[in-house]
């Protein structure tokens, strides 16, 4: 049963907090990219997280349909079918979902899980992210609390964000004046509001200068110490058990030292998209340049079917992306940490 259930997912989070490592959460858009994540995790002997964004879901449903929830369901059902062939646990998660698309993405997916549970089947996804970071904190948490109540009833974990991750992702660009650093006061309010829902589990993406996209090392000014300040403030008021399970968004261009410092302060999940996209595409480009006269019918020739068969270059892309997943696992101290005993 390597698609984790809620009990296993909670154990994964608690163990990562205790042992100071984190799980890579890789955005996927197809069966091939999902397979690449499973391969990389299995070869690292690490559990991990496959996640689908609104844009990734729309892409997966096909350019004619473009339905984000339908595409996410298709990818999740594939993972449920193949994951039990891998000796690790995998979690299924949805990435950034802004308030204006909740009714087209997260809500239909929760409804799908509710239908599955009613018929005795396991949850489709394990967790969902609501990104209300562009809203005033009160409005963000008002919506998040209602979602957390519904998620808790269905053994789903909710991820929220306070502060704004800079840069651009899925066509959403942060405003120049966006609040890029979460404050202890923000996190105290999160803890206060969410503590009212007894037993509910959630993840917090607290921002500390994170920026979506790809940048050279040193161009992103991260302040991981902000995470420590937030954790200390919450522990002082609510006790050690209230310390957050944190999420690191916008990690491309971060140094190994910054990644591990963030993990030491309670990051248990780090989102990766840009770097694995590049690894996937880089292998395809290499194939095309190396075999240009085979993938193209040059000067009246017929090309080489073995070269332009999509399986040839997609297999290379899958392998390349899997290697980048393995690098992420190493960076987060996750090698050989799987809970799966087989």
CA distances from 149 to 141, 162, 195 (A): 12, 19, 11
- Is 186 one of the catalytic residues? no
300 burial (CB, 10 Å; 0-12 / 13-18 / 19+) is exposed
Instruction: Note whether 154 and 113 are within 8 A (CB).
Output: yes
Q: Please tell me which residue in 47, 95, 186, 229 is annotated as part of the active site.
A: 95
Measured CA to CA, the distance from residue 8 to residue 224 in angstroms comes to: 28
Q: Which residues are catalytic?
A: 95
């Amino acid at each position: 049963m390597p698609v984790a259930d809620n009990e296993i997912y909670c154990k994964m989070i608690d163990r990562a907090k205790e042992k100071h490592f984190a799980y890579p959460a890789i955005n996927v858009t197809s069966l091939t990219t999902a397979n690449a994540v499973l391969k990389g995790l299995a070869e690292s002997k690490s559990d991990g997280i496959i996640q689908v964004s609104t844009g990734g879901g729309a892409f997966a449903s096909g350019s004619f349909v473009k339905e984000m929830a339908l595409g996410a369901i298709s990818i999740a059902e594939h993972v449920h079918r193949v994951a039990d062939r891998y000796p690790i646990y995998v979690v299924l998660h949805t990435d950034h979902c802004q308030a204006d698309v909740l009714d087209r993405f997260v809500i239909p997916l929760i409804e799908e899980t509710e239908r599955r549970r009613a018929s005795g089947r396991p949850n489709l996804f394990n967790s969902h992210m609501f990104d209300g970071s562009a809203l005033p904190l009160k409005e963000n948490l008002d919506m998040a609390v209602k979602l957390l109540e519904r998620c808790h009833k269905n053994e789903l974990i909710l991820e929220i964000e306070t502060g704004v991750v800079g840069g651009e992702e899925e066509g959403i660009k942060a405003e120049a004046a966006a609040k890029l650093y979460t404050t202890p006061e923000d996190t105290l309010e999160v803890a206060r509001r969410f503590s009212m829902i007894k037993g509910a589990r959630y993840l917090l993406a607290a921002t500390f200068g994170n920026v979506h996209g790809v940048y050279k090392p040193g161009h992103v000014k991260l302040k991981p110490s902000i995470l420590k300040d937030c954790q200390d403030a919450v522990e002082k008021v609510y006790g050690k058990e209230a310390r957050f399970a944190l999420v690191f968004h916008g990690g491309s261009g971060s140094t190994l030292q910054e990644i591990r410092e963030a993990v030491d302060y309670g990051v248990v999940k780090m989102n990766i998209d840009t770097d694995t996209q590049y690894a996937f595409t880089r292998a395809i480009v290499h194939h095309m340049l190396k075999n240009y006269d085979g993938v193209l019918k040059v000067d009246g020739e017929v090309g080489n079917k073995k070269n332009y068969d999509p399986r040839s270059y997609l297999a290379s892309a899958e392998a390349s992306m899997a290697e980048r997943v393995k690098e992420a696992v190493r960076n987060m101290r996750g090698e050989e940490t799987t809970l799966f005993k087989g």
